[in-house]
Chains A and B, each alone.
Chain A
């Protein structure tokens, strides 16, 4: 039987909300609720940041043998428009509370593509066994949205994050 893997939006190292086939909304609040509250406000000068978002893989049902090679990537082309960007990085398994503090050391999310994905199991390394059932596996991926004064107001077009893994 094939494994069932989920993508969770994390509120602690091992606590999260299932967002598989769901939506993550960058906002000015630390919660996983997809609503119109706490929007990001375009600054008159410079830029502002959303609260960071962390996602992690969750093994909902085990594989026959193993799961490995966790990868995260975008389609390589930001559809968010001028003045909006998203930064991403692998932060291992060290939890830090989500915050609006500017992320350091991240790279443009859209630089991670199918040809060059973000490695998702460099600290919590695979292969992950059936014994890891009902637990979080791999590393935390932290993202943050930046909104600059040059951004246009209104809702953004959707973007998609892809999570990939190998299974035996």
Chain B
């Protein structure tokens, strides 16, 4: 699942109509961010005047070279699953590419991930590593923020973990 799809939103209007598209929050009595995956918090805003909403996406890519993933990883020839001893969620994104090491090895694209597990787009082919080895990643994490502009402040909600940052109304948050 793409980071941008971790949350869906719902806008309830004074008329009772419920919208799931658009940016105008005029007449909104409730704005909800509804998680599409487990362990993310739901957020509901109501009883306060809202003006508009948008999302802000951040893609990062590396110049020059790549970095090593933390912890020990195990993988198996023919399997598309890699297991880690460390929480990799701050290092990996869907679409990141990982490899056994930085030189001369094949790169595998990440299809899905949880804190301690990576699912590759295609099975790993090579020597099985059962006792835990190192891998390298070619990207840093991306992020996807939902922003709600209220009468006199903004709320930015991270799609990766559901955390909220409140800012002045005209503050443009870049991560």
Contacts and interface: CB of A to CB of B under 8 A. Distances in A.
B60 A155 contact: no
Contacts of A95: none
A71 interface: yes
Chain A interface residue number, banded: 35 or more
A156 B63 CA distance: 9
A117 to B, nearest CB: 6
Given A117-B174, A168-B55, A21 B21 contact: no
B53 to A, nearest CB: 8
A167 B57 contact: yes
B83 to A, nearest CB: 21
A2 B5 contact: yes
A21 B55 contact: no
A20 B138 contact: no
A5 B140 contact: no
A69 B60 CA distance: 16
B64 A2 contact: no
A23 B56 contact: no
B22 A161 contact: no
Nearest to A109: B63
Contacts of A21: 59-61, 93, 95-97, 138-139, 142
Contacts of A155: 64-65
Nearest to A74: B63
B63 A161 contact: yes
Contacts of A80: 64
Interface string B1-30: 010110000000000000001110000000
B57 A5 contact: yes
B61 A65 contact: no
A20 B95 contact: yes
Given A64-B21, A158-B67, A2 B4 contact: yes
Contact of A71 (B4, B21, B140, B174): B174
Given A21-B138, A65-B22, A161-B60, 5 more contacts: A1-B5, A20-B61, A115-B174, A117-B174, A155-B64
The 10 closest A-B pairs by CB, nearest first: A2-B4, A114-B174, A21-B139, A168-B23, A167-B55, A21-B95, A163-B59, A23-B62, A159-B63, A158-B65
